[in-house]
Structure 1
Amino acid sequence: MTGAAMSLTAAASGFVVLLLTVPVVHGQDGWGATYSLRKICALKGSTVEIRCSYRYPPRVNGHETTVERRFWFTKFQDEEPVDVRTDSAYAGRVQYHCGENDCTLTIRDLRESDSAQYKFMFITNQPGGAFTGSPGVTLSVTGLQVKVIYSPRLKCSSSCDLTNHPSYIWYKNGQKTGGKTKYHSGYFYDEDSVSCAVEGHEDLPSPSVCVYGDSCNRVTYTDRSICAFKGSSVDISCSYNSYRSVTSKFWFTAECYRSGSYCRQPVDLSEDSLYAGRVQVFETTTGRSTLRINDLRESDSAQYRFKFKTYWSEWQSGLPGTTLTVTEPRVQVEVIWSSTGPTLVCHSSCLLPGRSSFVWYENGNIIQGETSHSLRRLIDPEDSFSCAYEGYRSPPVYAPRVPTVWVSPPGDIMKNSSVTLSCSSDANSPTVYTWYKNNQSLLRKEPQLVFSSIQSSDSGQYYCTAENDLGRRTSNSTFINVKYGPQTSTLSVSPSGEIVEGSSVTLTCSSDANPAADYTWYKENQTLLQGPEDIYHFSSIRSEDRGTYYCRSVNQHGRSVSSPLFIEVYYAPKLPSVSVSPSAEIMEGSSVNLTCSSDANPAANYTWYKEDEDSAKASGQIFTITNIRAEHSGSYYCEAQNSRGRNNSTFHLTVRASKSRLCTSHLHLKGAAGSVKSAAAGSVAVIFLALIFLCAFVLFRRKKILKQPPEPGEGPDNTAQQQDELFYASVSFSTNRQPNRHKTGEEEEDEEGVEYTVVNVKSATATPGLRRGEAVEDSFALYSTVSKKRRESAQQQSVSL
């Protein structure tokens, strides 16, 4: 029974007849509204949908456009359009279905009073950004009626023309008869009644009329549909007429039930066990019957019909009766905003016919004098409101309480993990939750903010707002601190240019980490410093600080090591040092290399100078003097210079006279008066003979050396060159010694009686086994004693050989 009743209810929910399906567009400068139809003709009792699409510029003067309100209206109050949802005439029968750029008005159980011109209006956040689509949509609500043009020609008539040439259904005495057009002809008796309907919408037939007179057989139901609360009572009534006397009558819910292969006749509800003790049938006046059902159950939802019998016939109509819907009360308050403020509307799952008295409560107290289904007044965010209908009270509605935010999972939030922020507020009205970060960024409008893989950039202050039509509240801020180990460590130096010795230098180790990292500083493989400092400072950097540095960043979540950084320290030349090669006694005719060295960065350039001379002697680290002479003796200095400064070092160079000339030199004897004593003559002879012997020895030795084979890499030219080199010997006699004042007279006499002679032989040639340019020197010391008289003046003698 319930399934059959629900199918009939569904069939009754939406018949719409449309006329002139021409779109109507109105608008300019990016603003506009388009109605799908200009005129609509709908049947009484049906459901109609009126559609409108609208547009607006996305930005005006650089500000983004958002739609704040949208609604339909038919009239004005205090020069303001009245939202049809707040109009008591539409209580419980209207609903909006709005998308981003469209909105549809749905009106159920249409009444002829609903005929009007409907307009759509939307209001944006832009100054003056309200737009109304004109001229709107004209709705006409009509019922069907059978008119007798002339017997036996009938017409199914309506106040507005139905388009699309619909097909019609005709009923005779409640049973379908032939005919598909709005006109119908046939043979009728005085007892016959006729009704019509549009095919496909048989639930909305016209009232039955008598073809002849007004005493034909017919049944007319007071209500097409009734909604009642579970547990309550309901009265379902009809008026009936019979051409002959009625012998029996009763109410039932279906004409027959199909069960297997047979059809069971309708059952009188007074005898139905499902209604036992809950139904009553009574007539207050003749020809009017009322069915009362007590203690309604949801299973009582069905279509109820009335049947009567006479001796000659029975009324067994196929026309629809009264549809009953039994439901829970579900009373609630809806908040609708208008330009004058919010309006509270009391809704119920069904409104009982003829009953429209409501009770309103503010903060639990009854508001006297307010019995309409809507309430308009100033609302404080702390206030709560509720309504009651037929003794059933709605839950209160109020502005959201301060929302709370919680984080899942609890504890430390690690980078790349999944984190959810949830916002909740106590509010008994549809609430919109919006998330913000750092007091400015609108993130999204959802109760939850989900990070599938949270990053360090997501750290910050978060809060949410809860908003409904009665107010808006903001939560406390929650700080999201995303933790992670040190990322790639970077080592930098300041200043960034050349680092000069003595300057202040700072090394900085940068590493993104949360919590902050501790740092360890290294030079080469040596630990310098360990602690929270991310800088390593040289107040006065030195040359020995030059080297490769790196740092390591560590916290409890990980570690990172920087790339190495080489620190180059630049400085002026240090005090130069000078070396002489060969390092032995510097003799005339030899070749000498002077080398200047200085610690400097960048490397120094060298310049050589001799004191008392204006021009430089040479440039370069090595200064070479070939065939040195006595006049080369003196003070020299080298200067080391780079881009950071200069420094110099002075030294003395002494060149001694040649000691050779043995075979080609002269012998020089010194005396006080220039005469040679006879005693010295003998000594000279002896020494002369010794020198001859020495020369012979040296020549013999040279020949022996020349006979030796050359070293590998030495050519025959080297041997020839060696043979051409000369040997020199020098002999010095000295008797003009100064007396020693600290000795006795006898000792002085003894010393004056002795003369010493030293013979040095030097070869300027390279000998086998030595590098070229090296000298071989043989020294022979000859000593001769010559008798002299005490305090005799010294004599010098010179002999040239």
Structure 2
Amino acid sequence: MSYNTMYFMLMWVRTAPALPLVFLLMIHGVSSDDWGVSYSPSHICALKDSTVTMNCSYTYPTGHQIKNVFWTKILEKVNYEFPDLSNDPEYSQRLQYLGDKQQNCTVRLSHVTLKDSHEYYFRFITDKAGKKWIGHPGVTLTVTGEFALQVESPERVTEGDSVRLTCKSSCTLTDRATFIWSRNSQPLTERRDRNNELLLQSVRREDAGRYSCAVHGHHHISPDVHLNVMYPPKSVSVSISPSGVIVEGDSVTLSCSSDSNPPALNFSWFKGGTIVRSGRIYSISKISSDDSGEYKCRSINEHGPKYSDAVTLNVMYSPRSVSVLMSGSGVIVEGDSVILSCSSDSNPPALNFSWFKENETSAVGSGQSFSALQSGRFYCQAHNQHGSQRSDAVTVTVHAVRGFSSVAVGVSAGVGVLLGGASGAFVMYICLTKWMKRRSAVKEISDPTEDTYTALELKSTTSDLYDTLTTVDPRRPEDS
């Protein structure tokens, strides 16, 4: 096919109505007798001052040798041939042929200007006469100084997912542009990502924020796009108000807080292992000791639950249930004692105890235990820093030794006759002491009418008394 014929056909194709694709492919030589040129991509948008690479490949029949290859942007011959861009002063220093004389026809154009916006064609010439080819239509280059950037990202991601953000331009940048990514206006220097994509593997909640992109060497920055990272509750904690000592009867508020996205709306309260309330706030008015224990809250959002650590609610209260324990029956004889012990329920435990005899205002003892030596009704009072409470009274009964008063009277009379005055009292004391030592146990009188002297073995007692008197005063009594 002659050049004129081919040129005519090309011009006709450009002005003629749209033709079927098969016919166009035959004209362009993509597969016509194995002649053809292919561009990828066929349209390029480049930034001013950037470098553009136009990828190209070509085919020709077997048996032909390539004599010459070049690029042109004009489909009009000059001196019977298309102008070679490498001979154009505007291109000669910026154009670099990267292909070969076999199949690769890639070319690189650096420092592009707005005037470089054009359609470019590859031309090759073989060793056979008249066997030449030009790749038409060519590759269209658009050079722009202003362009728009936009970040594309998913609206919501879940912690642990892989996320890909893409920086898109109104001009498809196929040169080696370097993209710069920022989060919250701070450059992301810790990651290096390919071309115009930012890949976040196993995204964390710290990756949430406002993302933007830019092209190195250009001032234009894309609008921010917010990356929303969803995650289940974390850092669940409980606070208690008031934070100090809690006394029975106070009003207490427990509050649950957590970090989650979206914010948790479901809260439950547990005492031990039992659920006791729902809601973020747990208020207890007039708290009692029964409310003491360990509490924790559970926070839930659509991504899962999380429990707080347990907190202890320690309710203080004054003594209560104060009671007296008695060792024995509470009935004793003179000279013995009964031990009374005081017990109470309080928080903190009571350490201060006072003992009182009923109808008396002054305390008769202190301490948790008390020895009662006399008859009466006794009670204790327990104290801690939050108050005090008294117990019910218990009765202690002390019995006198029966017969002891008769002996004392008889001995008193005898001694009065014999000695009189102080000496008589002293003798009486010695006699009674000796009598008490010899008697190991006091026998209660079963019959109040029984002769007192008989019951006390008066004869023996009288003899002892006489012996004692003799020891005190060795003089014999005179006969009457």
After superposition, the Cα gap between the structure-2 partners of 1:514 and 1:800, relative to the gap in structure 1 and judged at 3 Å, is farther
Whether contact under 8 Å (1:637, 1:650) holds in the other structure is yes
Residue aligning to 1:422: 166
Residue aligning to 1:233: 77
Whether contact under 8 Å (1:396, 1:428) holds in the other structure is no
After superposition, the Cα gap between the structure-2 partners of 1:456 and 1:331, relative to the gap in structure 1 and judged at 3 Å, is closer
Q: Please report how far the alpha carbon of residue 503 of structure 1 lies from its aligned counterpart in structure 2 after TM superposition.
A: 2.6
Q: 1:413 aligns with which of 139, 157, 165?
A: 157
After superposition, the Cα gap between the structure-2 partners of 1:508 and 1:800, relative to the gap in structure 1 and judged at 3 Å, is farther
**Aligned pairs (5 A) from 1:45-124:** none
Partners of 1:523 and 1:661 lie apart in 2 by: 64
Does 2:262 align with 1:547? Answer: no
Partners of 1:598 and 1:569 lie apart in 2 by: 16
Does 2:208 align with 1:493? Answer: no
Q: What amino acid does structure 1 have at the position aligned with 2:196?
A: P
Residue aligning to 1:661: 402
Q: 2:81 aligns with which of 291, 294, 299?
A: 294
Q: Please report how far the alpha carbon of residue 641 of structure 1 lies from its aligned counterpart in structure 2 after TM superposition.
A: 1.7
Q: 1:582 aligns with which of 325, 328, 331?
A: 328
Does 2:349 align with 1:603? Answer: yes
RMSD: 4.7
Structure 1 stretches of 4+ moved >6 Å: 327-333, 347-350, 428-432, 612-615, 797-800
Does 2:210 align with 1:461? Answer: yes
| Residue aligned with 1:516, SS | coil
Partners of 1:394 and 1:552 lie apart in 2 by: 62
Whether contact under 8 Å (1:395, 1:428) holds in the other structure is no
**Aligned pairs (5 A) from 1:346-385:** none
Does 2:303 align with 1:528? Answer: no
Whether contact under 8 Å (2:245, 2:316) holds in the other structure is yes
Partners of 1:328 and 1:546 lie apart in 2 by: 82
**Aligned pairs (5 A) from 1:271-290:** none
Partners of 2:71 and 2:233 lie apart in 1 by: 69
**Aligned pairs (5 A) from 1:653-732:** 653-658=395-400, 661=402, 666=406, 725-730=440-445
Residue aligning to 2:201: 452
Q: What amino acid does structure 2 have at the position aligned with 1:522?
A: F
- Please list every run of 5 or more consecutive structure 2 residues that lacks an aligned counterpart in the other structure: 1-48, 52-69, 88-104, 121-138, 408-437, 456-480
Partners of 1:296 and 1:462 lie apart in 2 by: 47
Partners of 2:297 and 2:390 lie apart in 1 by: 40
Whether contact under 8 Å (1:333, 1:345) holds in the other structure is no
Partners of 1:329 and 1:448 lie apart in 2 by: 26
Whether contact under 8 Å (1:466, 1:474) holds in the other structure is no
- Percent of aligned pairs with the same amino acid: 31
Q: What amino acid does structure 2 have at the position aligned with 1:542?
A: S
Q: Please report how far the alpha carbon of residue 599 of structure 1 lies from its aligned counterpart in structure 2 after TM superposition.
A: 1.5
Does 2:378 align with 1:639? Answer: no
Q: 2:142 aligns with which of 395, 402, 405?
A: 395
Whether contact under 8 Å (1:231, 1:294) holds in the other structure is no
After superposition, the Cα gap between the structure-2 partners of 1:655 and 1:96, relative to the gap in structure 1 and judged at 3 Å, is closer
Residue aligning to 2:478: none
Q: Please report how far the alpha carbon of residue 607 of structure 1 lies from its aligned counterpart in structure 2 after TM superposition.
A: 2.6
Whether contact under 8 Å (1:609, 1:618) holds in the other structure is yes
Residue aligning to 2:226: 479
- Deviations, residues 54-91 of structure 1 (Å, cap 9, x unaligned): xxxxxxxxxxxxxxxxxxxxxxxxxxxxxxxxxxxxxx
Does 2:194 align with 1:441? Answer: no
Task: Number of aligned residue pairs: give it.
Answer: 317
Whether contact under 8 Å (1:487, 1:511) holds in the other structure is yes
Whether contact under 8 Å (2:155, 2:227) holds in the other structure is no
**Aligned pairs (5 A) from 1:759-770:** none
After superposition, the Cα gap between the structure-2 partners of 1:724 and 1:417, relative to the gap in structure 1 and judged at 3 Å, is farther
- Please list every run of 5 or more consecutive structure 1 residues that lacks an aligned counterpart in the other structure: 1-94, 98-225, 235-291, 301-326, 336-343, 351-391, 668-722, 734-756, 760-796
- Deviations, residues 379-421 of structure 1 (Å, cap 9, x unaligned): xxxxxxxxxxxxx9963524123x33222xx474121221111
Residue aligning to 2:8: none
| Residue aligned with 1:400, SS | coil
After superposition, the Cα gap between the structure-2 partners of 1:538 and 1:466, relative to the gap in structure 1 and judged at 3 Å, is farther
Q: What amino acid does structure 2 have at the position aligned with 1:454?
A: V
Whether contact under 8 Å (2:211, 2:225) holds in the other structure is yes
Partners of 2:441 and 2:106 lie apart in 1 by: 141
Q: Please report how far the alpha carbon of residue 347 of structure 1 lies from its aligned counterpart in structure 2 after TM superposition.
A: 8.3
Q: Please report how far the alpha carbon of residue 602 of structure 1 lies from its aligned counterpart in structure 2 after TM superposition.
A: 0.8
Q: 2:310 aligns with which of 546, 564, 569?
A: 564
Q: What amino acid does structure 1 have at the position aligned with 2:322?
A: P
**Aligned pairs (5 A) from 1:15-30:** none
After superposition, the Cα gap between the structure-2 partners of 1:421 and 1:524, relative to the gap in structure 1 and judged at 3 Å, is same
Whether contact under 8 Å (2:238, 2:257) holds in the other structure is yes
After superposition, the Cα gap between the structure-2 partners of 1:414 and 1:665, relative to the gap in structure 1 and judged at 3 Å, is same
- Deviations, residues 562-606 of structure 1 (Å, cap 9, x unaligned): 343332211222363233333454554442122222221110013
Partners of 1:420 and 1:393 lie apart in 2 by: 30
Whether contact under 8 Å (1:607, 1:639) holds in the other structure is yes
Whether contact under 8 Å (1:503, 1:540) holds in the other structure is yes
Partners of 2:354 and 2:307 lie apart in 1 by: 49
Partners of 1:411 and 1:428 lie apart in 2 by: 24
Q: Please report how far the alpha carbon of residue 422 of structure 1 lies from its aligned counterpart in structure 2 after TM superposition.
A: 1.4
Whether contact under 8 Å (2:353, 2:382) holds in the other structure is yes
Partners of 1:557 and 1:349 lie apart in 2 by: 55
Q: Please report how far the alpha carbon of residue 482 of structure 1 lies from its aligned counterpart in structure 2 after TM superposition.
A: 1.5
Q: 1:515 aligns with which of 251, 254, 262?
A: 262
After superposition, the Cα gap between the structure-2 partners of 1:601 and 1:228, relative to the gap in structure 1 and judged at 3 Å, is closer
Partners of 1:230 and 1:328 lie apart in 2 by: 18
| Residue aligned with 1:457, SS | helix
| Residue aligned with 1:574, SS | strand
Partners of 1:420 and 1:464 lie apart in 2 by: 13
Q: What amino acid does structure 1 have at the position aligned with 2:261?
A: N
Structure that is richer in helix per residue: 2
Partners of 2:301 and 2:286 lie apart in 1 by: 31
| Residue aligned with 1:560, SS | strand
Does 2:337 align with 1:591? Answer: yes
User: With CA pairs under 8 Å and 6+ residues apart, which has the higher RCO, 1 or 2?
Assistant: 2
Whether contact under 8 Å (1:548, 1:565) holds in the other structure is yes
Q: TM-score, normalised by structure 2?
A: 0.53
Q: Please report how far the alpha carbon of residue 650 of structure 1 lies from its aligned counterpart in structure 2 after TM superposition.
A: 6.2
Q: What amino acid does structure 2 have at the position aligned with 1:233?
A: K
| Residue aligned with 1:399, SS | coil
- Deviations, residues 178-207 of structure 1 (Å, cap 9, x unaligned): xxxxxxxxxxxxxxxxxxxxxxxxxxxxxx
